[in-house]
Amino acid sequence: MLEVRDDNAATFEELMLRYQNRVITFLEHHTGNHELAKDLAQDVFMRVWRARKDYVPGAKFSTWLFTITSNVAKNAQRSRSRRHEVNLEGRDSGPLGVRPLEAMAQVSSGQIPARALDRAEVRDVVWMAVQSLNERQRAAVLLSKFEGMSYAEIAETMGMSVQAIKSLLSRARTNLREVLEPYFDFGSPPETSDDADSS
């Protein structure tokens, strides 16, 4: 990052290649919208480039990057809420999708292994459960799960105290459990938005 700070564009590109999938994964699961996530990811890298001079040597780059990323996601969320936008992007076979029978028929006809559908099912349900968390819980969960960040790193990234992160993650995980267990035990798909607390 120090080389990027010194205007080394090639190194910037290397950083981008290294982190772009992680950033877009975070944004996609955070916003629930692939196209929006791509736009926001571009915004993130633009901000990284613009803010390169502010990077403090010694700071962990991924923490700095995800601070920017979570701020971009948070701002996008707020502006969507202000505009009362809704997510119109369906998923292939997920809870918001339109083609469950096609998927099942594909399985039945042996075009893809049955196990692939099982995983797709679980993935969709889990995706929906993550979407049911509030914005802060979702960000903390994604940073913890996908980025493997410690509580201290998440706290730094999200600008909160370690204790607050501890409580936030605990609430998030109990909420996830509440939403996912009916599926695991009973087959009921999770409900969106109802159960996430509003803290």
Partner 1 sequence: MGNNPHDAGLTEGPAPMDEQLVAYLDGELDDESSRRLEQQLASDSTLRDQLSRLERTWDALDELERIEVDQEFTRTTIEMVALAAEREHQEEERRRPARRRRQWLLGLAAIVLACFAGFAGTWYFLPDPNRQLIEDLPVLQRLDEYQLIDTIEFLKLLRDRQLFPAKTEDASTVREASPVVAAGPSAVNREVGAGVAGKREYEKNRARIEAMAPGDKRQLSDNWRRFDKLSDEKQEELRNLHGALQLEGDREELERVMEAYCEWASDKLSAPELSHLDRLLPAERIEQVAAYKASPRRQFGRRDGFWDMARNPYGTRWFGRGVSGSSVKEYADALKTWAGRYVADRAEVLAELLPREEGTKWKAGLAKAPADDPEQVKSRWIYLVRWYLAGPKQDMPIDGEDVASLEALLSPNARKFFEQIPPEAKKREIPVGLRRMIGFHFQTGQPEFENLIAAEDLDRFRKTLSVDMEENLRKFPSAEKQNEWVRFAYFQSKLPRDARSSRDDRHSPGSARPPYGPPSHDGPSGPRRGPGGEPREPGDGPRGMRPGPAGIPPPPADQPAEKR
Considering only residues 20 to 59 of the shown chain, the ones binding partner 1 according to CB under 8 A are 20-21, 24-25, 28-29, 32, 34, 37-38, 41-42, 45-46, 49-50
How many residues belong to the site for partner 1 (CB under 8 A)? 102
Q: Which residues, in sequence order, are CB contacts of 134 under 8 Å at separation 6+?
A: 196, 197, 198, 199
How is 94-142 classified by DSSP, letter by letter? STT-S-HHHHHHHHHTTSS-HHHHHHHHHHHHHHHHHHTS-HHHHHHHH
Handedness of CA 121, 122, 127, 131 (dihedral sign): positive
Residue (161 or 170) nearer to partner 1, CB: 170
- Mark out the alpha helices in 1-113 (DSSP H runs): 2-5, 9-31, 34-50, 61-82, 100-108
Identify which range of 4-12, 59-67, 70-78 contacts partner 1 by CB under 8 A: 4-12
What is the radius of gyration, based on Cα positions, of the chain? 19
Q: How many degrees, rounded to 5, is the angle at CA 168 between CA 162 and CA 170?
A: 105
Segment lying near partner 1 (by CB under 8 A), choices 11-19, 54-62, 68-76: 11-19
* Nearer CB in complex with partner 1: 58/198: 198
- Which of positions 139-178 make contact with partner 1 (CB under 8 A)? 141, 144-146, 150-151, 166-167, 169-171, 173-178
Amino acid at 100: P
CB of 198 to partner 1, least distance (A): 10
Residue closer to partner 1 (CB basis): 67 or 189: 189
Residues 82-121 that bind partner 1 (CB under 8 A): 86-88, 90-93, 95-119, 121
Tokens of residue 115, six digits: 């196990």
Nearest approach in angstroms of CB 76 to partner 1 is 15
- Which CB atom, from 159 or from 181, has the smaller least distance to partner 1? 181
Nearer to partner 1, 58 or 86 (CB): 86
CB of 60 to partner 1, least distance (A): 18
